[in-house]
């Protein structure tokens, strides 16, 4: 390990009272190479995302080995671009925050390696952050009503290609998982259905788009686990039901039915997510919901949450689409929060495919 010689950035050495903190965020947990510059945890000076969608499209999903190789090619370019767009130099950066968990190990290693090098070369603190917590922080970055310094309870729904979980955030921002998918993540199910329907990759955006003028009641799929007493989800059942039905009735796969099939799948998946989230609000007596992750970009999900919020008298916060997807601005924003608290990482931090918060 190269950077183990000393950890001069312990809590005492960091000036926590600075008026301005400019954080470089780095995110490479899956297939997007991202860097962003954020001022005081709130103001995005730049946010650069290099997507690998075109590369992984032909495989119908992310190929980890290819993803990490592409991160290696892109990471310096993306960091330079973030600095240049923010019109700053490395000297202006106060700390570097990087996702080191959870994610694809090879992908995480590239971002963490770059962050360690940047931190060491520029003699600034390194802050390792949790990708899921960063998704939650995208909500605070997007909306001034959310201030994690204030004691407040939230239900958080994180829905992406790798995760579909419900969390309870208590007044001290302790994050407790209260439910998770027992099979596919919802984004993964969107991607698999899109692949089956020959709609390309990633599946979420295209299913969202073609469902807009389609019939969501074309097939009324059973909503898995909607009545179960827990807060877990299952999405592979809806996917299997769609495949089973179309194998049994091949005419359903005719061109004119594809959008209706997609819309019916989307309606079932969204229904389960919204209803279970509302149920969690009632059980834990929470009236604020934070939705994040790539699938939070889904227009039907946003619409249904908006209806539910009005009906149930709760507030649902969903970031703008760019901040729903993987990005480094959310990493820098969480990094600022940890920086203020003095949560500086050792230079020998590792990467983890799975972790608690």
Q: Which is nearer to ligand KG4, 125 or 205 (CB)?
A: 205
Tell me the closest approach of the beta carbon of residue 189 to ligand KG4, in angstroms: 8
Rounded Cα distance, 47 and 78, in Å: 9
Q: How far is the CB of 338 from ligand KG4 (least distance, A)?
A: 20
**Residue 191 interacts with which of Zn ion, ligand KG4, none, CB < 5 to 8 Å by class:** ligand KG4
Q: Least distance (Å) from ligand KG4 to the CB of residue 314?
A: 22
Give the tokens for residue 123.
């003699």
**Nearer CB in complex with Zn ion: 133/223:** 133
Please report, to the nearest 10 degrees, the dihedral formed by the alpha carbons of residues 210, 215, 216, 222 taken in order.
-120
Q: Work out the burial of residue 129: count CB atoms within 10 Å of its CB; fewer than 13 is exposed, 13-18 middle, 19 or more buried.
A: buried
**Burial state string for 243-272 with b = 16 or more CB within 10 A and e = fewer than 16:** eeebeeeeebeeeebbbbbbbbbbbbbbbb
Which parts of this chain interact with ligand KG4 (CB under 6 A)?
A: 30, 160-162, 187, 190-191, 202-205, 208, 293-295, 297-298, 325-326
Query: Minimum CB separation from Zn ion for residue 290, in Å?
Result: 14
204 binds, among ligand KG4, Zn ion, none (CB under 5 to 8 A by kind): ligand KG4
- Which C-beta is closer to ligand KG4: that of 30 or that of 75? 30
Nearer to ligand KG4, 33 or 94 (CB): 33
Which positions lie near Zn ion, rule CB under 5 A? 160, 326
Task: Indicate the helix (H) or strand (E) that contains 66.
Answer: helix 64-86
The binder of 319, among Zn ion, ligand KG4, none, by C-beta within 5 to 8 A per type, is none
Residue closer to ligand KG4 (CB basis): 39 or 192: 192
* CA–CA separation, 37 and 335 (whole Å): 11
* Minimal distance, residue 53 CB to Zn ion, in Å: 14
DSSP state of 172: T
């Amino acid at each position: 390990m190269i950077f183990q010689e000393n950890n001069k950035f312990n809590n005492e050495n960091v000036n926590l009272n600075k008026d301005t903190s400019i954080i470089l965020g780095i995110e490479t947990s899956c297939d997007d190479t991202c860097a962003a510059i954020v001022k005081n945890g709130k103001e995005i000076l730049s946010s650069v995302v290099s997507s690998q969608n075109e590369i992984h499209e032909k495989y119908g999903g992310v190929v980890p080995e290819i993803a990490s190789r592409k991160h290696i090619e892109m990471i310096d370019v993306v960091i330079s671009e973030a600095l240049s767009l923010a019109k700053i130099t490395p000297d202006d950066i106060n700390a570097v925050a990087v996702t080191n968990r959870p994610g694809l190990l090879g992908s995480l290693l590239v971002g963490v390696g770059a962050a360690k090098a940047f931190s060491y070369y520029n003699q600034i603190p390194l802050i390792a952050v949790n990708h899921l917590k960063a998704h939650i922080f995208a909500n605070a970055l997007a909306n001034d009503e959310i201030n994690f310094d204030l004691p407040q309870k939230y239900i958080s729904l994180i829905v992406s290609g790798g995760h579909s979980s419900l969390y309870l955030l208590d007044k001290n921002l302790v994050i407790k998982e209260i439910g998770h998918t027992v099979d596919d993540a919802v984004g993964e199910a969107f991607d698999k259905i899109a692949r089956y329907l020959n709609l390309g990759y990633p599946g979420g955006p295209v299913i969202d788009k073609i469902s807009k003028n389609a019939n969501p009641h074309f097939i009324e799929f059973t909503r898995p686990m909607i009545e179960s007493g827990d807060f877990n989800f299952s999405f592979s059942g809806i996917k299997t039901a769609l495949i089973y039905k179309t194998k049994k009735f091949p005419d359903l796969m005719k061109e004119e039915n594809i959008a209706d099939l997609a819309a019916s799948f989307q309606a079932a998946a969204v229904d389960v997510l919204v209803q279970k989230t509302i149920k969690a609000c009632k059980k834990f007596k929470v009236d604020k919901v934070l939705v994040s992750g790539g699938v939070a970009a889904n227009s039907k999900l946003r619409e249904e949450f908006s209806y539910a919020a009005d009906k149930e008298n709760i507030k649902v916060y969903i970031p703008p689409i760019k901040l729903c997807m993987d990005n480094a601005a959310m990493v820098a924003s969480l990094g600022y929060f940890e920086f203020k608290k003095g949560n500086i990482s050792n230079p020998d931090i590792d990467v983890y495919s799975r972790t608690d918060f």
